[in-house]
Amino acid sequence: MADASAFLSGDSPGRRVKDKLARYGVTAGGIFVLITLVLIFFYLLYVIMPIFASVKVTPQQAFSLTFTDQPAAIHLSEQNDIAYRLSRQGKLSFIRLASPQPGELISQHRIIANPASFARTLPREEIFAYGGRSGEVVVFKPMFRVTFSDNKRLTTPEIAYPLGQQSIQLDPEAQPITQLAVSLRSDRALVIGVTADHRVRAMIFRHQENLLGQESAWLSQSFVINGLPDELSTLAVTPDGRTLYAMSGESLYVVTLDGENSTVRDVVDVSTAKGIPQQLTLLSGANSLLITTSDNVVSQWFEVLREGKRTLVNARSFSLTDSPVVQLAPEYARKGFFAVQQDGTLSAYYTSVKGHIYRESLPGNPPDWLSISPRADRLLTVDDNEWQLYKVDNRHPEIGFASLWQKIWYEGYPEPEFVWQSTSATDEFEPKLSLVPVVFGTLKAAVYAMFFAIPMALAGAIYTAYFMSSKMRRFIKPTVEIMEALPTVILGFLAGIWLAPIVEEYLPGIVLIIVMFPLTMLLVGVGWSLLPGQWRHRLPNGFHIILLMPMIMLLGYGCLEMSPYLEQWLFAGDMRIYLTNEWGFGFDQRNTLVVGIAMGFAVIPTIFSIAEDAIFSVPGHLTSGSLALGATHWQTLTRVVLLTASPGIFSAIMMGLGRAVGETMIVLMATGNTPIMDWNVLEGLRTLSATIAIEMPETEVGSSHYRVLFLAAFVLFVFTFFFNTIAELVRQRLREKYSSL
């Protein structure tokens, strides 16, 4: 009897063991899920945190080396094992930096005797020129030949003359060249000089190969540039040889170079309220100018297109300390630069980050010269005879709070904007890694998808759980839930290849369907209620959807058939052109409307299933009691059933929102992946998940782009966690509020 009683009460020893195992298994599974989430969270932080690390400059080695002449330029080789020094007296010296003999003078060469001027190209090109006393110019390039012997790398310095000749006669009258500028690329070179009698001479070189491609030569053309003042303090020419910047006093002259037709395009006052220009430095790519004024302000200037005209504008300014600026050292490949001042302060800046990213006082005497290595990982300072090499850890200077979340004025843009553009075809590209456009695109796609999914999913759930017959419900509910198993890549493919062209061709009809669909359902319902009772009772309760489905199909067919006539009548035959020209709305074939429809279908099963279960699970005695008290079915639904099921309905909506926020394949295939910020439903977008999916396979591991993509994943993770947390809190509040029903 005791065993039978234990069996009937479900308290047998075997049952207790199974209960404990089940409880431990569920507990262990939950703990492992939490541990996994925590590990994902901290791994994302582990990858992200280096982009916010501060810049570090640490001394590496020091040595003494004496020169009797003044330096004109000091540079480092790419491997940081050799430095070369150009003097104002025309000498080129190579100095060893690597062990075992740092500071050893490897070799010294006389480039020109007693030069009158000196010029250099952008740092990454490492082309230099001396202007002579007799109108001649020498253009040269220090080279480093690398060989290997006994598994050791040997670097041998050499000198090359890129124009094929050691000396160029720039001025036929043999006047001294007092100011000089040079640019050189593979097929075009330009040398510009100011003579002692204030003439501005220029010589263009164009590279030409013979028909067999075995021999090549430079063809030159000389011309004079007119319209510039007599006193010029600085010349700078862009690498493409199309623009010359000439500074005189407080004015900067912008010259368009076109042979004999070269003209002064613009004259800009580059002074500040309290300072006059002192230095002009080209940033990487030469799209920006850095102008240092006497009030210790460094201003960035670049050209923008305004009213159909190229205009030089002051985009931003960097205020240094009160000490005068000794030298600026721009990086070879990035839009950053270092500045050293007379009080020994060393500062680092990046143009898309507000303020300095590094500022410290160097030990010892203030340096007279500052040079940065090609890879931006070494700094070399020279104070008279003392040489100091520093190691620089500055891997991600372009990333900061401002560049990620605020508007930035990028080169060539007419105004500050939020921009995501991580790659380009040129090496001088300025990375634009604002997360705002992709976060906006994520929310935009989710919002429009929910606009489409919530009404249909909740209406379907309410009808299925409350009005539909049990026989039909057993067929409809599993069918809708099976839709959730459909791969989203299929939905994205259909949306991009099949749906997008239909929306483009029948856009007026699609808009008409969206407007007429709810109206048609209401009209059908009103018409059904007006029918005689004997007709309405012929159709069993719960089967009314059978009458509505043909009406919906007829509505869709009729709207699409009317689309060409509406387009001709209302939009002059082309709705897309009309919207663009008359209303200023852009149109992309793969747009947010297509994404909203496709993603809505992907989200509907999630919302429908959870909401339907919540409504169907409302206790029957509540419904029966309401009806017994005289309430109608509609009153019972709105005031009893939906309130009781509201926690589950809200959870369903939030689960659908989380699904829409994290969706990848549909937005990847059904949008143009254009990171623009516009609520226009007819334009494309780019989401966080799509950005990660597109760009992660191609990015360099450990780069700023790579880590910002992990930051995008972290933001997506936080979004999902936030939505789920809010959903759970609201669900608990709703459950407590309506638990007494």
Give CA 700 to chain center in angstroms.
15
Q: What is the mean pLDDT of residues 654-676?
A: 86
pLDDT tops 60 at residue 8: no
Query: Under DSSP, is residue 693 helix (H, G, I), strand (E, B) or coil?
Result: helix
pLDDT tops 60 at residue 2: no
Q: Are 437 and 708 in contact (CB under 8 A)?
A: no
Structure tokens at 305: 């297109």
| Residue 378 backbone dihedrals phi, psi, to 5 degrees | -140, 145
Q: How crowded is the C-beta side of 142, counted as CA atoms within 13 Å?
A: 30
Please indicate, yes or no, whether residues 47 and 130 belong to a single structural domain of this protein: no
Please indicate, yes or no, whether residues 47 and 159 belong to a single structural domain of this protein: no
Structure tokens at 108: 């010294």
247 within a domain of the structure (yes/no): yes
What does the DSSP 8-state code read for residue 598? Answer: H
Q: How crowded is the C-beta side of 523, counted as CA atoms within 13 Å?
A: 8
Q: How far apart are the first and last CA of the chain?
A: 42
655 within a domain of the structure (yes/no): yes
Q: What is the DSSP string of 65-124?
A: ---SS-EEEEEE-TTSSEEEEEETTSEEEEEE-STTSTT-EEEEEE-SSS-SEEEE--TT
Q: What share of the chain is helix, strand, coil (3-state, %, to 5)?
A: 40, 30, 30
Tell me what pLDDT residue 427 has. 62
Please indicate, yes or no, whether residues 497 and 616 belong to a single structural domain of this protein: yes
Tell me what pLDDT residue 140 has. 92
Q: Are 194 and 248 in contact (CB under 8 A)?
A: no
Please indicate, yes or no, whether residues 615 and 725 belong to a single structural domain of this protein: yes
Tell me what pLDDT residue 213 has. 54
Residue 578 structural domain:
436-738
Q: Are 132 and 176 in contact (CB under 8 A)?
A: yes
pLDDT band with cut points at 50, 70 and 90 for residue 662: confident
Alpha-carbon distance of 707 to 403, in angstroms, equals 14
683-717 per-position pLDDT tens digit:
888 999 999 998 888 888 888 899 999 999 999 98
Please indicate, yes or no, whether residues 481 and 552 belong to a single structural domain of this protein: yes
Please indicate, yes or no, whether residues 17 and 148 belong to a single structural domain of this protein: no
611-637 per-position pLDDT tens digit:
988 888 888 888 888 888 888 888 888
Query: Under DSSP, is residue 605 helix (H, G, I), strand (E, B) or coil?
Result: helix
What does the DSSP 8-state code read for residue 55? Answer: P
Please indicate, yes or no, whether residues 18 and 122 belong to a single structural domain of this protein: no
Alpha-carbon distance of 359 to 50, in angstroms, equals 19
589 within a domain of the structure (yes/no): yes
Residue type, 258: D
Alpha-carbon distance of 400 to 456, in angstroms, equals 43
Structure tokens at 659: 């699904």
Alpha-carbon distance of 406 to 400, in angstroms, equals 10
Tell me what pLDDT residue 103 has. 84
Please indicate, yes or no, whether residues 39 and 134 belong to a single structural domain of this protein: no
Q: Are strands 251-256 and 243-248 parallel, antiparallel or unpaired?
A: antiparallel
How many structural domains does the chain have?
A: 3
Tell me what pLDDT residue 212 has. 58
Contacts 24+ apart (CB under 8 A), 554-561: 555/513, 555/516, 555/517, 555/520, 556/513, 559/509, 559/510, 559/512, 559/513, 559/516, 560/506, 560/509, 560/513, 561/509
Burial environment of residue 310 by CB neighbours within 10 A (0 to 12, 13 to 18, 19 or more): middle
Share above pLDDT 70 across residues of the chain, in percent, rounded to a whole number: 95
Domain boundary among 36, 52, 68: 52
Domain boundary among 12, 32, 52: 52
353 within a domain of the structure (yes/no): no
Contacts of 25 (CB under 8 A, 6+ apart): none
Q: What is the DSSP string of 208-252?
A: EE-TTSS-EEEEEEEEE--S--S---EEEE-TTSSEEEEEETTEE
pTM of structure: 0.86
Residue 46: CB atoms within 10 A of its CB come to: 10
Alpha-carbon distance of 126 to 160, in angstroms, equals 11
Tell me what pLDDT residue 589 has. 81
Query: Under DSSP, is residue 683 helix (H, G, I), strand (E, B) or coil?
Result: coil
Please indicate, yes or no, whether residues 555 and 474 belong to a single structural domain of this protein: yes
Structure tokens at 495: 């949306």
Tell me what pLDDT residue 6 has. 52
Burial environment of residue 121 by CB neighbours within 10 A (0 to 12, 13 to 18, 19 or more): buried
**Residue in this structure with the two tokens 């080789």, named with its chain if needed:** 77
Alpha-carbon distance of 636 to 270, in angstroms, equals 75
Judged by phi (left if over 0) then psi (alpha if -120 to 50, else beta), residue 382 lies in beta
pLDDT tops 90 at residue 470: no
15 within a domain of the structure (yes/no): yes
Please indicate, yes or no, whether residues 606 and 459 belong to a single structural domain of this protein: yes
Give CA 695 to chain center in angstroms.
11
Q: What is the mean pLDDT of residues 460-476?
A: 84
Give me Rg for the CA atoms of the chain.
Answer: 36
Please indicate, yes or no, whether residues 470 and 554 belong to a single structural domain of this protein: yes
282 within a domain of the structure (yes/no): no
Residue type, 621: H
167-196 per-position pLDDT tens digit:
888 888 989 999 999 998 878 889 999 999
What does the DSSP 8-state code read for residue 417? Answer: B
Distances (CA, A) of 105 to 92, 109, 129: 11, 11, 22
Please indicate, yes or no, whether residues 37 and 120 belong to a single structural domain of this protein: no
| Residue 227 backbone dihedrals phi, psi, to 5 degrees | 95, 0
216-232 per-position pLDDT tens digit:
678 888 989 998 998 88
pLDDT tops 60 at residue 10: no
Domain of 660: which CATH number?
Answer: 1.10.3720.10
348-388 per-position pLDDT tens digit:
999 888 888 999 998 888 888 999 999 899 999 998 888 99
pLDDT band with cut points at 50, 70 and 90 for residue 391: very high
Instruction: Compute the mean pLDDT over every residue in the chain, rounded to the nearest whole number.
Output: 86
Q: What is the DSSP string of 525-593?
A: HHHHHHS-HHHHTTSPTT-THHHHHHHHHHHHHHHHHHHHHHHHHHSTT-HHHHIIIII-----SS-HH
Domain boundary among 219, 241, 269: 269
pLDDT band with cut points at 50, 70 and 90 for residue 4: low
**Residue in this structure with the two tokens 């990086």, named with its chain if needed:** 331
Q: What is the mean pLDDT of residues 395-413?
A: 89
Residue 111: CB atoms within 10 A of its CB come to: 19
580-621 per-position pLDDT tens digit:
887 877 788 888 889 989 998 899 999 999 898 888 888 888
Alpha-carbon distance of 74 to 282, in angstroms, equals 17
Alpha-carbon distance of 336 to 501, in angstroms, equals 46
**What sign does the CA torsion over 559, 565, 569, 574 have?**
positive
Q: Are 240 and 185 in contact (CB under 8 A)?
A: yes
Tell me what pLDDT residue 392 has. 93
160 within a domain of the structure (yes/no): yes
Give CA 496 to chain center in angstroms.
24
706 within a domain of the structure (yes/no): yes
pLDDT tops 90 at residue 129: yes
pLDDT band with cut points at 50, 70 and 90 for residue 439: very high
